[in-house]
Amino acid sequence: MSFIIVGLGNPGQEYEGTRHNTGRDMLFALAKSIGAVGNAGEFKADKKVRALVAKGEVGKGKASESVTLIAPETFMNKSGLSVGPLINGIGAATKPNLKKAEKLIVIYDDFNLPIGSIRVSFNRSSGGHNGLESIIKAVKTEAFIRVRVGVAPEKANGTAKVPHGEKEIEKFILSPFKPAEALELKKVSKLVIGAIETIILESREKAMSIYNAN
């Protein structure tokens, strides 16, 4: 049973480079890193799951593991429409497929973390993230892996400068990264790729011990 890796964001050029599309951008960086782009594994539209889908392998030789990369083509708050069928099947039964869910990795933005930070977690609530909430409802369990990527400016004390109020939060997460932030995010993509490789080839616990310390 291969891992399914999902990068959250909104489809469309107007959302490219925005903070809320960080998960999607990280997925594409991972795809390029493992050679899933530019060959037979290039992303292709799959109307059944409303997503762009690619296949690839993490690791080399006998130590490699196959992965399926998913970029939902729904809007963020409907991400579960793409992910649910992959875990529980089309016309899913009422019971969740817990074995498949444990091999689900969702990458997404977190404005409570400063840029430069990532966190690996398992079996936790959505934390108010609409895309994640949609997936939890669709797969009918919280027992899957998350890789949260910080998108907020960093304060002098090292914590995130968090926006407050619904309108301010929406404005912030849909805003583009500043040039210096975008450069920092390229460095972060290496952390995300490393974390995912560690999850798949070793364990999620090992990934947490390494990457949650940064």
The answer to whether 71 and 9 have CB atoms below 8 angstroms apart is yes
Global pTM reads 0.94
The amino acid occupying position 154 is E
Say which CATH superfamily domain 3-211 falls into: Peptidyl-tRNA hydrolase (3.40.50.1470)
Q: pLDDT value at position 38?
A: 56
Q: At residue 45, what are phi and psi to the nearest 5 degrees?
A: -70, 130
Q: pLDDT value at position 23?
A: 98
Q: pLDDT value at position 96?
A: 84
- The CA–CA distances, whole Å, from 208 to 27, 36, 52, 143, 191 equal 19, 25, 28, 15, 12
Give the residue numbers marked as catalytic. Answer: 20
Q: pLDDT value at position 89?
A: 83
Domain ranges of the chain: 3-211
pLDDT in tens, 78-119: 999 999 999 998 764 567 899 999 999 999 999 999 999 999
The answer, yes or no, to whether residue 156 has pLDDT greater than 90, is no
| Mean pLDDT, residues 135-146 | 96
Q: Can you say whether residue 12 is alpha, beta or left, with left for phi > 0 and alpha for psi between -120 and 50 degrees? A: left
